[in-house]
Amino acid sequence: MLQLFEAHAELCKSLSNPKRLMIIAMLAEGEANVTEIAKTIDARPSTVSQHLALLRAHNLVETRKEGKTIYYSLSDKRLGEACNLIRQILYETMKKKGNFAKEMSLESNLLCFKIKN
């Protein structure tokens, strides 16, 4: 049983970066390549590649190659659902305490990461 909790802790460590969580949220909406992810989360492609390498090393994302382009997707859609649930809990807690910017909305800032065109 301890082994399962240790694996859970390792998984949480791999998600302990806001940009990686944004990547997970984005990939929960569908597959994307490094350029699309970088544009959406406002990060350099090299930084995104490093984050994706870590997520891939923990078997959280998988790849599909089309020509020269590599597309990333979640290995298990439940990961996106779990992260979404945690954000919903955080949103409700922050809302009750009034600890967030007035312009923040659950739909626009916490849950939806559509690819920018």
CATH number at residue 87: 1.10.10.10
Predicted pLDDT at 116 = 39
Assess if residue 73 is contained within a domain. Answer: yes
Residue 18 lies in a domain: yes
Q: Is residue 103 part of a domain?
A: yes
Per-residue CA distances from 63 to 27, 98, 100, 117 (Å)? 11, 40, 35, 22
- The total number of structural domains that make up the chain: 1
> Whose structure tokens read 């800032």?
109
Q: What pTM was computed for the model?
A: 0.83
Q: Is residue 117 part of a domain?
A: no
Residue 13: inside a domain? yes
Domain membership of residue 22 (yes or no) is yes
Three-class HEC string of 49-67: HHHHHHHHHCCCEEEEEEC
Residue 116 belongs to some domain of the structure:
no
pLDDT digit string (tens) for the chain, length 117 residues: 899 999 999 999 999 999 999 999 999 999 999 999 999 999 999 999 999 999 999 999 999 999 999 999 999 999 999 999 999 998 888 888 886 655 565 545 544 544 333
Assigned domain for 29 exists: yes
- Residue 19: its pLDDT value, please? 97
